[in-house]
Chain A
Amino acid sequence: EAQVTQNPRYLITVTGKKLTVTCSQNMNHEYMSWYRQDPGLGLRQIYYSMNVEVTDKGDVPEGYKVSRKEKRNFPLILESPSPNQTSLYFCASSLTGGIFNEQFFGPGTRLTVL
């Protein structure tokens, strides 16, 4: 089944404790992206990757890192999480970064930083 998977689905952590949220897609997509969803704000892009070893900042990149060493994986790293990073996170992928390509979303990771 073609899909985007994220792990973990739920995570509660404390301020300053490094964490990684994994994202993997099995559709051989070139483009991958991370969003955060907050009430009243919709989805905002954190980082995106046009292909392996190519990453770029989205609208809200502060406090996050990403890497794209393999085509299928695009982990989101929080080196020193803070309470304002408590949010619902979505990974997405599309065939390419072309304007009309549909983005497929993962199921989401709900992160709470205490």
Chain B
Amino acid sequence: GENVEQHPSTLSVQEGDSAVIKCTYSDSASNYFPWYKQELGKGPQLIIDIRSNVGEKKDQRIAVTLNKTAKHFSLHITETQPEDSAVYFCATKGVANNLFFGTGTRLTVIP
């Protein structure tokens, strides 16, 4: 099955700085790459996704890049704010109907 690796596991940044989280995957059939944000005591919530035919996608302060050849994709958060503090998960989905998740990154934005 798919193997998704996510780094770093924890990340602390000063408010206003950028944060980058990286994921690699093993299954070349993966075609969909969502990112989820999980706040304390809540379920994961989709914040941005990218499809395999797109190299980059941006939504305000959040962007995702995908390199299908190298099988890696990244989440970029610019101008971080305290409310960005959460656990972030990358995931992949391919021909199967299952989401495969990375191990999560705990982001702390220091005011």
Contacts and interface: CB of A to CB of B under 8 A. Distances in A.
Contacts of A48: 97-98
Given A58-B98, A59-B98, A99-B32, A43 B45 contact: no
Contact of B32 (A43, A92, A100, A107): A100
B46 A103 contact: yes
B99 A45 contact: yes
Contacts of A103: 46, 99
Interface string B99-111: 1011110000000
B89 A42 contact: yes
A42 B104 contact: yes
Interface in A55-114: 58-59, 90, 92, 97, 99-100, 102-103, 105-108
B28 to A, nearest CB: 15
A50 interface: yes
Nearest to B36: A105
Contact of A41 (B34, B94, B103): B103
Contact of B101 (A31, A42, A106): A42
B5 to A, nearest CB: 10
B16 to A, nearest CB: 29
B42 A107 contact: yes
Nearest to B97: A97
A43 B42 contact: no
22 contacts: A31-B97, A35-B101, A42-B4, A42-B6, A42-B89, A42-B103, A42-B104, A45-B98, A48-B98, A50-B97, A90-B44, A92-B43, A99-B31, A99-B94, A99-B95, A100-B32, A102-B34, A102-B46, A102-B49, A103-B99, A105-B45, A107-B41
Interface of B: 1, 4, 6, 9, 31-32, 34, 36, 41-46, 49, 51, 89, 93-95, 97-99, 101-104
